[in-house]
Structure 1
């Protein structure tokens, strides 16, 4: 088995299912910051809950922990990516050494009898691991929480060729009639942009190359397409499932959303790709329990019985599963971060429904 290839494919498949649920508005999400946590849960679960988690993870639950470590090792191999796993448990919660050994060394800490103090410590962990991009842990600690499993993921890159800042007024598209901050850049490398033909409609794509092997792909769909359709189609395009025509081969006119090809007189004979894109910062908070079918969390949240005998002899159920995420696209580079956290309680205790505002 090719652990790295299969693990990355499975993690991407989770992201693809998640983005299909996007219905509108601005959103940022990171399936890669949730998948390893679900994999570690799947390896320790039993019964129907194990089957649901295994389906969400997309790999055999028996080898899911090994696959999760493979994904983390890939991330650790890039200087532009920083990932961290964290586990905190109450001292009176017995843990099976075999499951604990599947986690990276040094990630296990303790929860005390003071949830407020523990919250500050976990918030500080999230802030430190994301370089300040995310200020707090997405879950709320209570006296009932016995275990917290979390992951922080950060990506930072600097553009090989920076943009220049400006302000523009758009006449058409999603920003029609609005004066917004934009970024501009010109290049003679036309294949950085193109139009993809997908079953849901044409997509305009722009590849922005960063340092340390990180590329950011900007995608714009037709006004009639929903965000979930655009994102799903974009992932299929990047996977090579739909054909893309480079900008240099497009005919004059408007071959794709937000893209115009025209001929003009110039003293230089070379074609030029002129790019104007919005400068943006997006932040989102997600409750993964709102989408149990995506994340395999339907059964394991039932507090009437335990679901993770592989973790502890104490019966446990998932009570919280949330993610905070942020992304910034600016003139000099791109940075994004996500922190995902799962909380577990002893069975028979109602799951905590109190959450902090985003």
Structure 2
């Protein structure tokens, strides 16, 4: 079943990036939202269930199982972790199905005192994101009956690190900056990490940065006029096999190299005639927050966030319930050494050198203007995190001379 779960979770990510990534720096985790929506779908009745099913992409009869399978995959992985937390107000009558559907270690109780509950839930966030995030993103109110949350963390080192270098782009929106960007450079004879995806939004250049663990990060560059959301959605779909990708030595053919945004095929003096790949990108450190109820239709939350005297989730409790908050906090950092990220998603429920002697070909890939990134769980293909880098970090003033 996990292949189906990965497919529908990635489809949610593709829909979300089209909506959310419109030009500024963003980061989001569809994999963090999807299990919560799947649990709500399995517990819902009426029109709300149909809307949640459209967002989740699985039949309600198996949605809760799918949520547990996705979280189990993350918990077993290396370099990535996932946790589920479910808290109900003490004394709230719970349906036996809900008690059985939620993993035992994930359950807890709320006292009804926002200060006491805040400290406990913030501690849970800090533990399960390795300290990268420290606060449960939803507000805790006296009338909060349920909080459902996922925490996702990523911490991997690159198999092949980058070199820190100052970068001064000569063209594009990052040209003419007062200080050079904090660039990252890497090269070698392995051409396979570079790919050209042909998508409905146009050609995309994709570079796979392989982690030591179960997580890889893909850098994604489209034509300059291509909308960020379309670049990211096209990359998600290409990795899922929906659009063709040509990679490695195939890009040494000049017509293909010319089609790849940001890529040049050049000839340089060298002792070694073996073709080389040279990649330039930038460091980034992004923090983002998303209000899921700002676009309730995207997540199937339109009906279940409205008051109804009969409630929407009879399989949770006989008390009428509605979703009153949905928030995700994200942090992602890409450096010369590796990638670290965390996402917490919460829903609250309330009532109501020597001279060269020869030449070689070099595929020169420059991610020196706004680009996207995807963090992907290698064993399953699950897209853990997606984002857009609108501005690079500055080269540190104390990092030595600028050349």
Judge same fold: TM > 0.5, yes or no: yes
Query: Structure 1: which 4+ aligned runs deviate by more than 4 Å?
Result: none
Q: Distance in 2 between matches of 1:333 and 1:189?
A: 19
Tell me if the contact between 1:85 and 1:107 (Cα under 8 Å) persists in the aligned partners: yes
Aligned counterpart for 2:328 among listed residues 318, 323, 326: 323
Matched residue SS, 1:79: coil
Matches within 5 A, 1:258-337: 258-305=262-309, 306-337=311-342
Question: What's the TM-score once normalised by structure 1's chain length?
Answer: 0.93
Tell me if the contact between 2:75 and 2:83 (Cα under 8 Å) persists in the aligned partners: no
Matched residue SS, 1:155: strand
Q: Distance in 2 between matches of 1:110 and 1:9?
A: 33
Q: Distance in 2 between matches of 1:299 and 1:81?
A: 33
Q: What corresponds to 1:138 in structure 2?
A: 137
For residues 140-179 of structure 1, the C-alpha deviation after alignment (integer angstroms, 9 at most, x for no partner) is 1111111101000112211111111121101123422232
Q: Distance in 1 between matches of 2:172 and 2:154?
A: 29
The answer to which of 281-290 and 118-127 deviates more is 118-127
Structure 1 residues 33 and 81, CA, compared in 2 at 3 Å: closer, same or farther? same
Tell me if the contact between 2:78 and 2:214 (Cα under 8 Å) persists in the aligned partners: no
Q: Distance in 2 between matches of 1:4 and 1:256?
A: 33
The answer to which of 111-120 and 240-249 deviates more is 240-249
Q: Distance in 2 between matches of 1:211 and 1:143?
A: 45
Q: Distance in 1 between matches of 2:69 and 2:101?
A: 11
Q: What corresponds to 2:13 in structure 1?
A: 15
For residues 259-285 of structure 1, the C-alpha deviation after alignment (integer angstroms, 9 at most, x for no partner) is 111112211111111111111011110
Q: Distance in 1 between matches of 2:44 and 2:138?
A: 21
Q: Distance in 1 between matches of 2:341 and 2:91?
A: 36
Tell me if the contact between 1:15 and 1:31 (Cα under 8 Å) persists in the aligned partners: yes
Matches within 5 A, 1:225-244: 225-244=226-245
Question: What's the TM-score once normalised by structure 2's chain length?
Answer: 0.83
Matched residue SS, 2:28: coil
Unaligned runs of at least 5 residues, structure 2: 353-403
Matched residue SS, 2:139: coil
The answer to which of 181-190 and 109-118 deviates more is 109-118
Matches within 5 A, 1:1-358: 3-21=1-19, 22-178=21-177, 179-250=180-251, 251-252=253-254, 254-305=258-309, 306-347=311-352
**CA-CA distance at 1:54 after TM superposition:** 1.0
